[in-house]
């Protein structure tokens, strides 16, 4: 199934815009992510692999706490149970397989734009 721009779901998190480009409920999701400062929540997926392609910008991905500098045309693969977050202003394409299911996501911690741990309330105050 191909979803045109008019029909795609668009959501805004505190620091990112997400747009579903393609979804197959049994196989995969394909999304565009526009990140202003990063994904300020460390998490991991019990099931599923996240594959990010950096379309533009640069930043740092943290996989199991290890920093990896990225720039345009880089590819980042986060297999199941890999803790992940990223910082930076980037445009990304995200491929999730199987499709994203919130019941598989495990929250680890909230972060500020410097990667420091903060409370959920502080995050909401600072970035909403």
**Residue 96 domain-assigned (yes or no):** yes
- Distances in Å between the Cα of 38 and the Cα atoms of 6, 47, 84, 114 are 26, 23, 11, 10
Q: What is the pLDDT of residues 91-117, one digit of tens each?
A: 999 999 999 999 999 999 999 999 999
**Residue 1 domain-assigned (yes or no):** no
Domain that holds residue 18: 10-127
Cis peptide before 120 (omega within 30 of 0): no
Burial 97-127 (b: 16+ CB within 10 A, else e): ebbbeeeeeeeebbbbeeeeebeeeebeeeb
**Residue 55 domain-assigned (yes or no):** yes
Q: How confident is the model at residue 78, as a pLDDT?
A: 98
**Residue 99 domain-assigned (yes or no):** yes
Task: Give the residues across from 61 on adjacent strands.
Answer: 68, 86
**Is the pLDDT assigned to residue 8 strictly greater than 80?**
no
CATH assignment of the domain containing 47: 2.60.120.10
Q: What is the pLDDT of residues 41-68, one digit of tens each?
A: 999 999 999 999 999 999 999 999 999 9
Q: How confident is the model at residue 15, as a pLDDT?
A: 60
**Residue 2 domain-assigned (yes or no):** no
The structural domain count of the chain equals 1
């Amino acid at each position: 199934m191909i979803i045109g721009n008019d029909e795609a779901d668009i959501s805004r998190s505190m620091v990112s815009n997400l747009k579903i480009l393609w979804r197959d409920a049994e196989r995969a999701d394909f999304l565009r992510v526009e990140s202003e400062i990063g994904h300020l929540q460390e998490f991991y997926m019990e099931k599923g692999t996240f594959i990010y392609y950096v379309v533009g910008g640069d930043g740092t991905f943290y996989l199991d706490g290890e920093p990896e500098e990225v720039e345009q045309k880089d590819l980042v693969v986060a297999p199941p149970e890999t803790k992940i977050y990223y910082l930076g202003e980037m445009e990304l394409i995200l491929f999730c397989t199987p499709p994203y299911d919130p019941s598989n996501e495990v929250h680890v911690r909230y972060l500020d734009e410097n990667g420091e741990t903060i409370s959920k309330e502080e995050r909401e105050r600072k970035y909403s």
